[in-house]
Structure 1
Amino acid sequence: DPAAGRLDPEQLEAVDAVVHLAGENVGTRWTAERKRRIRESRIKGTRLLAETLARLRRPPRVLVSASAIGVYGSRGDEILTESSSTLDTPPDFLVELGREWEGATEPARSAGIRVVHLRFGIVLTPAGGALGRMLPPFRLGAGGALGSGRQWVSWVAMDDAVGAIHHALMTESLSGAVNATAPAPVTSREFARTLGGVLGRPALVPTPAFALRLLFGEMADAALLASQRVLPERLTESGYRFRYPELAGALRHLLGADR
């Protein structure tokens, strides 16, 4: 029970690798209570895991811990790789959360465990998340871009999210930050147009920024309207080959339109 500060070390003795993906959903309006739960589920849980692993008699060789591209903040058209600073951005909730989340693994790293922070973009699956919420209005022909539509959206198909985890586990040269995003980010307008095209529906009904702010408050600017043009430099340079590098192909696969 990580929330209560309890983790049985005996269950972790002699495991070869640990993948840590736990965290409260950030895709809803952020009340003070919701923000507390988001922070604690990531930072407190990750720190407890890292401290427990560091004390093991036979610790794992690698810890792959989820992070997110929100740590970069909203950066306009700037191309972002793992070498891009996360310290120059005006802090918002997701920026500060990402820094602390990654920092919480320090006990494991200090104990000699190889730690990889997979900075996920928007993971696409029709089973839920962003794509799952977008499908109903788009299928009705009522979908469109968010805000101006000019902000960059960095995404990854679920297949490649899983592939990136496996690659991080097996590639001993990887440690630290690794962007888990497809190599072809798109603007919000292009995302909407591509999704509409795959579904055979128009995508001409944008959601104005003011409406998003009314509905989602602070989360609208930090997530829905943020512009993050992220490239997976370290993944590709270390030999990972994306199954779905382009959005149209990914959506056709995920929605069964390639059958």
Structure 2
Amino acid sequence: MEDGRMDRVRSRVAVAGASGLIGGALARSLAADGHEVVRLVRRAPRDADEVRWDPEGGRVDAAGLDGCDAVVNLAGAGVGDHRWTDAYKTRIRSSRVHGTTALAEAVASLERRPRVFVNGSGIGFYGETGDRAVDESAPAGEGFLPSLCVEWEAAAVPAREAGVRTVFVRTGLVVARRGGAWGRLFPLFRAGLGGRLGDGSQYWSFVALHDEVAAIRHLLDREDLSGPFNLTAPHPLTNREVTAAMGRVLHRPAPFAVPAPVLRAALGEMAGDVLGSARVLPARLLESGFRFAFPEIDGAIRAAL
């Protein structure tokens, strides 16, 4: 990485969350270009490219990170995987905050520190924005997700204070065939059961999985970039517009609607995330020269398929 370009020089990159949707895609992309990917695992390592860690317990084998050019942390219990009971909210928080703290402290402790630490975050940082567009200059919102994201990002302080370039990727709703919100939407729409959620006026800030990975690699490459970056397509749409696009691309009508009271009864507090509106713009990413391959929703859906 002498010239700061990981796409030109073979590099060693540690990825936490490599079994997840985004982490897995990133690991495959890096490996395909000849980079060495070190995967953080919660069990005893089986191969030389694995490092053991315990994110909830806040422990990581720091020696396994020695010699890495970059560390990417995309690990964390799924926000939409379960109803938000108090116990599950605690698990969501501990898996992110404790895991990030452990990695940041491990990075800071190394004699040969990586050049960059990329840490996951989310557009939940901004909370409810209604139809108001926000970028990275906006303050944190209120509620569980904003407070989680604030703690999550703050946990990376040890790496930054040790002089490691630190980047936060505030990811939107990832359009992918499997996993994430779209992994659940595709089967419904294919079956002709798709439709808007609530009144459909809430903004969904989406990003194609291809662009998510490309943006992370862009941030790994650019040694002049640090701090928060919104990883969302430049044109957020309302849920009603997303629903229409899904029906259009999949050639399926989308006549149904799930009323807000039904969603609240079924999902509890998590319904606020589904019905909430987040109109988030990738201002800093665009200013850095990044170009989206799939800036529009139709292209993002086709790319996922």
TM-score normalised by the chain length of structure 2 = 0.81
Query: Is contact 2:198-2:259 (8 Å) kept?
Result: yes
Q: 1:252 Cα shift?
A: 1.5
Query: CA offsets per residue over residues 12-32 of structure 1, 9 Å max, x none?
Result: 112111111000001031111
Pick the structure with more strand per residue: 2
Q: In the alignment, which of 7, 11, 14 is matched to residue 67 of structure 2?
A: 14
Structure 2: distance between partners of 1:148 and 1:98: 27
Q: 1:5 Cα shift?
A: 3.0
Structure 1: distance between partners of 2:86 and 2:119: 25
Q: In the alignment, which of 155, 161, 166 is matched to residue 104 of structure 1?
A: 155
Q: In the alignment, which of 200, 214, 219 is matched to residue 168 of structure 1?
A: 219
After the TM superposition, list the runs of 4 or more consecutive aligned residues in structure 1 that deviate by more than 6 angstroms.
none
Does 2:55 correspond to 1:5? no
What residue identity is the alignment partner of 1:174? L
**Which residue number in structure 2 is paired with residue 249 of structure 1?**
299
What residue identity is the alignment partner of 1:208? P
For structure 1, the residue ranges without an aligned partner over 5 or more in a row are none
Structure 2: distance between partners of 1:218 and 1:92: 10
Does 2:80 correspond to 1:29? no
Please give the secondary structure, in 1, of the residue aligned with 2:146.
helix
What residue identity is the alignment partner of 2:296? E
Structure 1: distance between partners of 2:135 and 2:58: 34
Structure 2: distance between partners of 1:184 and 1:153: 10
Q: In the alignment, which of 35, 38, 42 is matched to residue 96 of structure 2?
A: 42
What residue identity is the alignment partner of 1:58? R
Superposed, 1:59-78 pairs within 5 Å as: 59-78=113-132
Please give the secondary structure, in 1, of the residue aligned with 2:121.
strand
Does 2:271 correspond to 1:220? yes
Superposed, 1:143-222 pairs within 5 Å as: 143-221=194-272
Query: CA offsets per residue over residues 167-215 of structure 1, 9 Å max, x none?
Result: 1101112111100001111000000000011110111211111111011
TM-score normalised by the chain length of structure 1 = 0.95
Structure 1: distance between partners of 2:192 and 2:58: 47
Q: 1:4 Cα shift?
A: 2.8
C-alpha RMSD over aligned residues: 0.9
What residue identity is the alignment partner of 1:242? F
Superposed, 1:70-149 pairs within 5 Å as: 70-86=124-140, 89=141, 91-149=142-200
**Which residue number in structure 2 is paired with residue 235 of structure 1?**
285
Give the structure, 1 or 2, with the largest relative contact order (CA under 8 Å, sep 6 or more). 1
Please give the secondary structure, in 2, of the residue aligned with 1:64.
strand
Structure 2: distance between partners of 1:242 and 1:135: 22
**Which residue number in structure 1 is paired with residue 41 of structure 2?**
none
**How many residue pairs are counted as aligned between the two chains?**
251
Structure 1: distance between partners of 2:215 and 2:76: 18
What residue identity is the alignment partner of 1:21? L
Structure 2: distance between partners of 1:16 and 1:254: 30
Please give the secondary structure, in 1, of the residue aligned with 2:188.
helix
What residue identity is the alignment partner of 2:56? A
Aligned residues: percent identity?
52
Q: 1:3 Cα shift?
A: 2.6
Query: Is contact 2:59-2:99 (8 Å) kept?
Result: no
